[in-house]
Amino acid sequence: MKATFNFLLCGVGGQGTVLASAVLVNVGLAAGFDAKQAEVHGMSQRGGSVSSHVRWGRKVYSPIVELGEADVLLAFEKLEALRNVGALRPGGIALINTQVIEPLTVISGDQTYPDDEAIQAAFTQVTPHVQYVDGERIAGALGNPRAANVVLLGALSALLEEEWLAGSDLDAEAWLKVISERVPPKHVELNRKAFEAGRSAIEK
Amino acid sequence: MIKMLSGNEAVARGMWEAGVGVAAAYPGTPSTEILENYARFPNVYAEWASNEKVAVDVAVGAAYAGRRALAAMKHVGVNVAADSFMYAAMTGVEAGLVIVSADDPAMHSSQNEQDNRTFAKFGRVPCLEPSDSQEAKDLTVIAFDLSERFDTPVLLRLTTRICHSQSTVELGERREPAQGGKPFPRNPAKYVMVPGNAIRRHPVIEQRIRAVAAFANTFSYNQVEPGERTLGIISSGVAYQYAKEVFPNASVLKLGMSWPLPERMIRDFAASVDRLIVIEELDPFIEEAVRLMGIPVEGKSIFPLTGELDPYVVRASAVRAGLLPTPVASTGPEAQSGALPGRPPVLCPGCPHRPTFYILNKLKVPVNGDIGCYTLGLIPPLSAIHTCGCMGASIGVAHGAVQAGSPERHVAVIGDSTFFHSGIAPLINVVYNQAPVVTIILDNRITGMTGHQQNPGTGQTLLGKDAPVVELEPLVKACGVTHVKTVPGYDVRSIEQTLKEYIQLDEPSVLIVVEPCALLPEARKRWVPLEVLADKCNGCTLCFRIGCPAILKSEELDEKTQRPKALIDAGLCTGCEVCAQICPRAAITFRPAMEEEPA
């Protein structure tokens, strides 16, 4: 099993990156790793770009993932995925939510949103492991598109098992336990379904 | 018991374990969550003070009265509180007093990135610097012990990456504070800083800091981690973590106390290594002090003086300086992905500040801004903030510009919490020295930017108790302003009419614009998305000029103008009706039309 894991989560304020990274750092702890997480609050929450770092390892020093050293880039929005492509190490996993949130600079017509080919091309230079998941559609079908972040966590758990965690104790239930501790009781069932749907999106 | 805590949560836990009696703060990123978390412990006293200076005075009073006390703030809050910090350094305390400075290297949410370790040196007080959440908790407890042992305030210096990073913390036991408290001291020689007494106190505090420096050599949080002799690194705070990441085999002297420095320890460490470097964020604070000891050392000749460090920055700097052989990839994200559309923070959909900035932009007046969400009024297309320096600056700057003979009518824009913080004194100054400054108080009934904290205008305290509401209009009138009007925040026409009237006056005037922040729970319940009536919209683009993220360009073009029609994102729109009010063709629905529709 891999000894250290560097995750970079990115998206737009309000998409649930904070919850997702809180889950991820605690999953690491539950799996027996030392773990750290770093994020920035404040102005960036006002519809701006947000990112969060999570690291698991035997002993973790820096809470920040070194540029070009992320094993996993978990992007909740496509433009933010592209903005952070340089964070990924060669051969790392890019897991990208297909949601598009146009920034005002695009709405105003001053700048253009990158097309899918440009995004894919930038990632192809870094890694063959690029996975797209339509978190909003999957979560929406379950009744609440805001659970897209948990759909993505489900997808991430499946990808990690496939690539690096085969045979570890870190099964879906361990993730679900951490998630359930962090969402309101009335949303536990929805989040469980969202997590499972995210896993199936990868497994099939 | 081990828990995953942010640095701010860990400080709060440390405060509880240390038996803090009184805690006061003014919200400011990245410090805000310290008091928010502390207030959740049972039977504690914590308050939002009206500003950081007040917070420090409150903590000082509690420490004089024999109860452990703490004041927390962001780095620039210490500037506001500096006067109080400096006298507290002179008087010392009866019980532990800790001032938390949460610095913001890289200015994630600040107007500058000053390094507040300098304040410790300036005031002759010790500075403790945790490097993770465990140390944030431990050093909080130790700060109180040191404060009492050396009769001094202690500066606990955090940075954004400590405050907002999570790591594991082993929780400790609570030390219950002594019951009853001591009688308030009658000791004017120590506590009344008239010149005759202050003259005698100054040598005392110089001797005090020398005593702390001697103690620093045996302080267990100053620690040598022996490694290879070729390179020795002195570091503190989160920079230590980056040093360990990039130089896993080097010898490291880690300083949990970055002022005063343990001179004997540093001399021994320097003598044990071939090359000595300091890795620290922002100022060469440790580096210069080590050089003054006559010890050859490098630091800012290798690592950047500005911005925050991270493992990549430390590694790249080290490679450039020949400290590491491995070249690092030179392509940053920009190089790989090209220039991408920016995503600056913006005023939220439904923000009650938006109409005011839309009108100010129309009136083309110079606008002096202040610190809060409304500073985002500077972003195009609103583009209606022209200066912004610090908390409370708007009104004084507008006044000065007028007194300098600036021919235009100057406007000052300030939020409710910021007005309570430091807007009242400059408003009195405008009245006293008679300038026709138009002051706009944007009252969104909460402290917004830092994430919805209560303030003197909201009727609630940090501990969730009801409080008297300090009403703005009578307060402004009591300051001597005769032209005062309060209008609802979404009433575009009233705001425009009042401002047009006020900028003609030759006397001070104040417009209070009231509407609760659209993100408050009560306001969210009123959200109703509006719609664009495509058959009426002719693509005139006027509604785009309010800069609302909920108004998009439709794929559909108007036949005549060939311009895209407007489209409202129902997932973002709150139904504030500002766009509906300014649409000249009644092409955007008002709320009643939407509310009548069956769900």
Domain count, chain A: 1
The pLDDT confidence band at residue A113, using thresholds 50, 70 and 90, is very high
- DSSP letter (8 states) at residue A200: H
Choose the closest CB to B342 out of A35, A46, A105. Answer: A105
Euclidean distance between CA atoms B484 and B352, whole angstroms: 19
Would the CB atoms of A63 and B161 count as touching at under 8 Å? yes
Contacts of A28 in chain B (CB under 8 A): none
Would the CB atoms of A107 and B553 count as touching at under 8 Å? yes
Supply the CATH number for residue B467's domain. Answer: 3.40.50.970
H or E stretch at B476: helix B472-478
Would the CB atoms of A40 and B544 count as touching at under 8 Å? no
What is the value of ipTM here, to two decimals? 0.95
Contacts of B333 in chain A (CB under 8 A): 67, 83-87
Q: Residue A161 is part of which domain span?
A: 5-203
Sheet arrangement for strand B509-514 = B367-368, B411-415, B438-443, B509-514, B483-488
Domain boundary among B176, B201, B216: B216
The answer to whether A41 faces chain B, any CB pair under 8 Å, is yes
Q: Is B274 exposed, middle or buried (0-12, 13-18, 19+ CB in 10 A)?
A: exposed
Would the CB atoms of A67 and B332 count as touching at under 8 Å? yes
Beta strands at B154-159 and B97-103: parallel, antiparallel or unpaired: parallel
The answer to whether A170 faces chain B, any CB pair under 8 Å, is no
The pLDDT confidence band at residue A196, using thresholds 50, 70 and 90, is very high
Choose the closest CB to A83 out of B108, B333, B376. Answer: B333
Structure tokens belonging to residue B288: 């210069």
Would the CB atoms of B164 and A38 count as touching at under 8 Å? yes
Residue B587: inside a domain:
yes
Contacts of A40 in chain B (CB under 8 A): 108-109, 160, 164
The answer to whether A121 faces chain B, any CB pair under 8 Å, is no
Supply the CATH number for residue B310's domain. Answer: 3.40.50.920
Distant-in-sequence, close-in-space partners of A104: CB < 8 Å, separation ≥ 6: B344, B346, B379, B547, B549
Would the CB atoms of A66 and B245 count as touching at under 8 Å? yes
Distant-in-sequence, close-in-space partners of B145: CB < 8 Å, separation ≥ 6: B96
Residues B407 and B481 in one domain: yes
Structure tokens belonging to residue B74: 């962001």
Would the CB atoms of B165 and A107 count as touching at under 8 Å? no
Give the angle subtended at the CA of B361 by the CAs of B359 and B364, to the nearest 5°: 110
Domain count, chain B: 4
Query: Does the bond joining B381 to the residue before it have cis omega, within 30 degrees of 0?
Result: yes
Contacts of B335 in chain A (CB under 8 A): 86
Euclidean distance between CA atoms B275 and A107, whole angstroms: 54
Would the CB atoms of A105 and B168 count as touching at under 8 Å? no
Residue of A nearest to B315 (CA): A66
Q: Judged by CB atoms within 8 Å, which residues 84-103 of A form the interface with B?
A: 84-87, 102-103
Contacts of A47 in chain B (CB under 8 A): 343, 345-346, 348, 549
Residue B349: inside a domain:
no
The whole-number pLDDT of residue B182 equals 79
The whole-number pLDDT of residue A164 equals 80
The pLDDT confidence band at residue A45, using thresholds 50, 70 and 90, is low
Residues A16-43 pLDDT 10s: 898 999 999 999 999 999 999 999 765 6
Would the CB atoms of B336 and A103 count as touching at under 8 Å? no
Would the CB atoms of B549 and A40 count as touching at under 8 Å? no
Smallest Cα distance from B166 to chain A, Å: 5
Residue B333: inside a domain:
no
Would the CB atoms of B341 and A41 count as touching at under 8 Å? no
Residues B368 and B442 in one domain: yes
Residues B205 and B252 in one domain: no
Euclidean distance between CA atoms B390 and B112, whole angstroms: 10
Smallest Cα distance from B431 to chain A, Å: 33
Choose the closest CB to B244 out of A61, A122, A126. Answer: A61
Residues B401 and B429 in one domain: yes
Residue B348: inside a domain:
no
Residues B467 and B387 in one domain: yes
The owner of tokens 């920009």 is B334
Residues B430 and B499 in one domain: yes
Letter for the amino acid at A100? V
Choose the closest CB to A86 out of B164, B165, B336. Answer: B336
Would the CB atoms of B315 and A46 count as touching at under 8 Å? no
Would the CB atoms of A66 and B344 count as touching at under 8 Å? no
Smallest Cα distance from A203 to chain B, Å: 30
Euclidean distance between CA atoms B164 and B29, whole angstroms: 10
Find which of A104, A108, A124 to mutate to test the B interface (most B CBs within 10 Å of its CB): A104
Residue B345: inside a domain:
no
Handedness of CA B309, B312, B314, B320 (dihedral sign): negative
Residues B112 and B169 in one domain: yes
Give the angle subtended at the CA of A83 by the CAs of A80 and A87, to the nearest 5°: 110
Could you tell me how many residues make up chain B?
A: 599
pLDDT in tens, chain B (599 residues): 999 999 999 999 999 999 999 999 999 999 999 999 999 999 999 999 999 999 999 999 999 999 999 999 999 999 999 999 999 999 999 999 999 999 999 999 999 999 999 999 999 999 999 999 999 999 999 999 999 999 999 999 999 999 999 999 999 999 988 776 679 999 999 999 999 999 999 999 999 999 999 999 999 999 999 999 999 999 999 999 999 999 999 999 999 999 999 999 999 999 999 999 999 999 999 999 999 999 999 999 999 999 999 999 999 999 999 999 976 555 544 445 568 998 888 899 999 999 999 999 999 999 999 999 999 999 989 999 999 999 999 999 999 999 999 999 999 999 999 999 999 999 999 999 999 999 999 999 999 999 999 999 999 999 999 999 999 999 999 999 999 999 999 999 999 999 999 999 999 999 999 999 999 999 999 999 999 999 999 999 999 999 999 999 898 999 998 999 999 999 889 999 999 999 999 999 999 877 765 54
The answer to whether A19 faces chain B, any CB pair under 8 Å, is no
The owner of tokens 């944030």 is B136
Would the CB atoms of B337 and A122 count as touching at under 8 Å? yes
Would the CB atoms of A49 and B343 count as touching at under 8 Å? yes
Would the CB atoms of B345 and A29 count as touching at under 8 Å? no
Would the CB atoms of A42 and B549 count as touching at under 8 Å? no
Would the CB atoms of A104 and B547 count as touching at under 8 Å? yes
Would the CB atoms of B340 and A34 count as touching at under 8 Å? no
Which spans in chain A are helix H?
17-30, 78-83, 104-107, 116-124, 135-141, 148-163, 172-180, 188-203
Residues A100-111 pLDDT 10s: 998 888 887 788
User: In sequence order, what are the beta bridge partners of B2?
Assistant: B170
Residues B576 and B488 in one domain: no
The whole-number pLDDT of residue B334 equals 47
Supply the CATH number for residue B581's domain. Answer: 3.30.70.20
Could you tell me how many residues make up chain A?
A: 204
Residue B160: inside a domain:
yes
Residues B358 and B471 in one domain: yes
Residue of A nearest to B544 (CA): A108
Residues A154-174 pLDDT 10s: 999 999 988 887 667 788 999
Residues B458 and B575 in one domain: no
The whole-number pLDDT of residue B189 equals 98
Residues B102 and B26 in one domain: yes
The whole-number pLDDT of residue B455 equals 97
Choose the closest CB to B346 out of A34, A47, A102. Answer: A47
Query: Does the bond joining B42 to the residue before it have cis omega, within 30 degrees of 0?
Result: no
The whole-number pLDDT of residue A167 equals 67
Pairs of CB atoms within 8 A across A/B: 163
Residues B147 and B196 in one domain: yes
The whole-number pLDDT of residue B335 equals 47
User: For residues B148, B149, B155 and B160, what is the CA-based torsion angle, rounded to 10 degrees?
Assistant: -90
Supply the CATH number for residue A21's domain. Answer: 3.40.920.10
Residue of A nearest to B333 (CA): A86
Smallest Cα distance from B574 to chain A, Å: 15
Q: Residue B571 is part of which domain span?
A: 527-596
